[in-house]
């Protein structure tokens, strides 16, 4: 295919001239785009300064990210046309470094807050993310061994003008040495154009065994993140280099880039790219592995531990082995991948969600959610409550009269369960992995609206914060006849509230529920017994609360949960087994993702 070389400024100016697509009758979805192949020309004798201006850049092949098929997050009015988000990037190389520039059209630019750059977390700022796969063997997100040598770089408008390198597989990040790596971002408010420019040394991109040379081919992904809400910690729209090549956005689908000697040698013809190498084994366990894991759970259902036998004997060797398999898969799933999966779910980036959920552990979560949706449709006996552990986090409660969720999280919850849910309780609303924004939006706009119990206001798409009704610690709320929810605890001395809030729930003629979060003190809960307690092991007074309340059964929260915070390790399976013994004589149940337990009201 013929190449088209254009000055960087000329193609950047073309972004300014973009008009919205014409309105008219609905058309069939466009055909997928061809897989991009990027040619990187040498810098030569051209002097480039990393100053945010593209005036010194030569004529180069442009890398375009301005096709609507490359957009993710176009729902709920987040994307209108190219003025919302479109971009064009350029690359050049020499023996020392790779040079990158990217001009982004964006009607509202969000720089990084001066005091919020934390390399251990995903920063909330408009950004360009560059991912390089030198060995071209990445095929998936999650624990794909092909990601071991991958390098990812984050460019954003922040005062230090530092290049941040992410290691998603290991959940770490660092700032590159400013003496060799440099990044500048300049925003033109009048025209709505943001120029990103960077120099990244090759040793930061390539493993020691590889050197830059003519003909070298790497795999590449470029993603532009667009934050359009000042109070939102997640991007509303994203544009990706390979996002348009299939109906879903496959996180393991990278483009390829080749270092070439000069433009004249190409003679207007793209050189032949070598195929990607074959793999000796699947990047993550295949679908049959996960189906078998689900089958094992069905064959070895959860059991009540009451101390009559040691916990390992009560579980049984087969069930313990299955739980250990699940534990191992969750333990190795990368923290940043888990967070970003929630981001895509919250902002209804359906194509990205579908791509992530297409394989590996996310696919198993979806398989288990299908099982929950099917089993939750079964009738519940009178004066009983069936409690489901939702696969990605949170709980579903079903009685004859009421269906409600607590900290419900995960993909497709709104579609599979949303219509049946009467109310929702959020114990830790600011924690992005303990809620589902799309489900909450559906409940808020239902007619009539369905209650959402939260003690802290947070950003929810299309929902003004001042329209959220906040629960006050210590207050009792009657949601419908016989359904009472009491927020436990008390406000702090300065009037603020704790990060989490605990609740006591009473259903008409049904079991009573106590949700014990991480901040509840034993002195803040009445001694009145409850039929079921959902207990956070992170609560330092957990044992005292159990002794005071004497619940009929305790369900342990936070089990089989991925790590989501860099400063907080996940709780291991062995710790839950030890806690079951510690809580005796109170009976306990440890549920795996997608499993359920039936609780009956005390006489």
CATH code assigned at 316: 3.60.15.10
- Three-state secondary structure of 527-563: CCCCCEEEECCCCCCHHHHHHHHCCCEEEECCCCCCC
507 & 572 share domain: yes
104: β partners: 87, 194
294 & 175 share domain: no
Domain count, the chain: 2
Residue finishing a domain among 221, 244, 261: 261
Q: How many CB atoms lie within 10 A of CB 282?
A: 14
227 & 117 share domain: yes
Cα end-to-end distance, the chain, whole Å: 78
Domain assignment present for residue 274? The answer is no
Mean pLDDT of successive 10-residue segments in the chain (603 residues)? 48 50 54 93 91 88 93 76 85 97 92 67 89 97 94 90 85 87 92 94 97 97 93 92 96 96 76 93 95 97 95 95 98 95 96 97 98 95 95 97 96 92 96 96 94 95 90 94 93 86 92 95 94 96 97 97 92 97 97 97 80
Cα separation, 271 vs 257, in Å, equals 11
Domain assignment present for residue 54? The answer is yes
Domain assignment present for residue 523? The answer is yes
pLDDT at position 265: 61
CATH code assigned at 194: 2.60.40.1190
pLDDT at position 16: 46
Q: Which domain holds residue 248?
A: 7-16+33-261
430 & 293 share domain: yes
pLDDT at position 45: 87
306 & 224 share domain: no
Please tell me whether residue 445 adopts helix, strand or coil conformation.
coil
pLDDT at position 107: 84
pLDDT at position 143: 94
Domain assignment present for residue 567? The answer is yes
Name the pTM for this structure.
0.93
**Of 517, 513, 507, 450, whose CA–CA distance to 484 is shortest?**
507
203 & 297 share domain: no
440 & 520 share domain: yes
pLDDT at position 483: 95
552 & 588 share domain: yes
pLDDT at position 493: 80
420 & 511 share domain: yes
Q: How many CB atoms lie within 10 A of CB 350?
A: 19
Domain assignment present for residue 23? The answer is no
Beta-sheet pairing, 37-42 with 86-93: parallel
Domain assignment present for residue 281? The answer is no
What does the DSSP assignment read for 322-371?
HHHHHHHHHHHS-HHHHHHHHHHHHTT-HHHHHHHTTSHHHHHHHHHHHH
How is residue 167 written in tokens? 């290691």
294 & 204 share domain: no
Domain assignment present for residue 108? The answer is yes
pLDDT at position 377: 94
Domain assignment present for residue 267? The answer is no
Q: Give backbone dihedrals phi and psi of 133, rounded to 5 degrees, phi first.
A: -120, 90
436 & 558 share domain: yes
How is residue 431 written in tokens? 């924690």
How is residue 530 written in tokens? 């409850």
pLDDT at position 358: 96
193 & 308 share domain: no
């Amino acid at each position: 295919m013929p190449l088209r070389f254009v000055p960087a400024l000329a193609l950047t100016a073309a972004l300014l001239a973009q008009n919205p697509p014409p309105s008219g009758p609905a058309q069939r979805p466009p055909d997928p785009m061809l897989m991009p192949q990027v040619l990187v020309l040498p810098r030569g004798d051209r002097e480039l300064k990393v100053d945010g201006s593209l005036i010194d850049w030569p004529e180069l092949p442009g890398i375009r990210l301005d096709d609507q098929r490359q957009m993710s997050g176009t729902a709920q009015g987040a994307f209108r046309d190219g003025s919302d988000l479109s971009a064009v990037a350029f690359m050049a190389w020499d023996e020392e470094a790779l040079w990158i520039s990217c001009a982004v059209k964006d009607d509202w630019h969000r720089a990084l807050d001066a005091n919020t750059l934390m390399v251990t977390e995903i920063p909330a700022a408009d950004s360009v993310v560059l991912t390089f796969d030198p060995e071209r063997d990445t095929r998936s997100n999650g624990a794909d061994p092909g990601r071991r040598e991958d390098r990812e770089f984050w460019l954003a408008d922040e005062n230090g003008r530092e290049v941040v390198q992410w290691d998603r597989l290991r959940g770490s990040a660092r700032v590159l040495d400013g003496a060799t790596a440099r990044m500048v971002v300049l925003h033109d408010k009048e025209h709505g154009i943001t120029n990103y420019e960077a120099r990244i040394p090759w040793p930061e991109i390539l493993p020691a065994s590889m050197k830059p040379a003519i003909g070298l081919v790497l795999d590449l992904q470029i993603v532009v993140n667009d934050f359009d809400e000042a109070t939102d910690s997640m991007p509303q729209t994203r544009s990706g280099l390979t996002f348009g090549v299939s109906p879903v956005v496959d996180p393991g689908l990278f483009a390829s880039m080749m270092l070439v000697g000069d433009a004249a040698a190409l003679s207007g013809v793209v050189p032949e790219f070598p195929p990607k190498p074959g793999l000796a084994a699947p990047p993550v366990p295949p679908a049959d592995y996960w189906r078998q894991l689900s089958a094992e759970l069905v064959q070895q259902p959860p059991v009540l531990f009451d101390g009559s036998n040691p916990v390992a004997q009560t579980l049984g060797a087969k069930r313990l082995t299955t739980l250990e398999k699940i534990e191992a898969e969750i333990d190795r799933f990368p923290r940043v991948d888990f967070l970003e999966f929630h981001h895509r779910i919250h902002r209804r980036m359906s194509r990205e969600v579908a791509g992530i959920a297409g394989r590996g552990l996310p696919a198993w979560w979806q398989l288990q959610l299908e099982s929950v949706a099917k089993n939750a449709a079964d009738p519940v006996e009178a004066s009983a409550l069936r409690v489901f552990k939702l696969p990605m986090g949170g709980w579903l409660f079903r009685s004859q009269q009421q269906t409600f969720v607590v900290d419900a999280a995960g993909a497709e919850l709104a579609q599979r369960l949303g219509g049946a849910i009467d109310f929702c309780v959020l114990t830790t609303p600011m924690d992005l992995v303990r809620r589902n924004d799309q489900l909450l939006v559906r409940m808020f706009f239902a007619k009539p609206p369905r209650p959402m119990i939260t003690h802290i206001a947070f950003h929810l798409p299309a929902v003004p914060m001042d329209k959220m009704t906040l629960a006050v610690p210590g207050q009792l709320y009657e949601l419908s006849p016989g359904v009472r929810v009491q927020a436990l605890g008390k406000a702090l001395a300065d009037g603020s509230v704790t990060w989490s809030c605990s609740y006591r729930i009473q259903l008409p003629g049904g079991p009573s529920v106590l949700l014990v979060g991480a901040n509840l003190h034993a002195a803040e809960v009445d001694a009145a017994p409850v039929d079921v307690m959902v207990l956070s092991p992170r609560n330092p007074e957990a044992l005292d609360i159990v002794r005071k309340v004497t619940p009929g059964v305790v369900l342990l929260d936070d089990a089989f949960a991925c790590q989501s915070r860099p400063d907080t390790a996940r709780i291991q399976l062995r710790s839950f087994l030890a806690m079951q013994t510690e809580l005796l004589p109170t009976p306990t149940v440890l549920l795996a993702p997608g499993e359920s337990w039936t609780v009956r009201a005390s006489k």
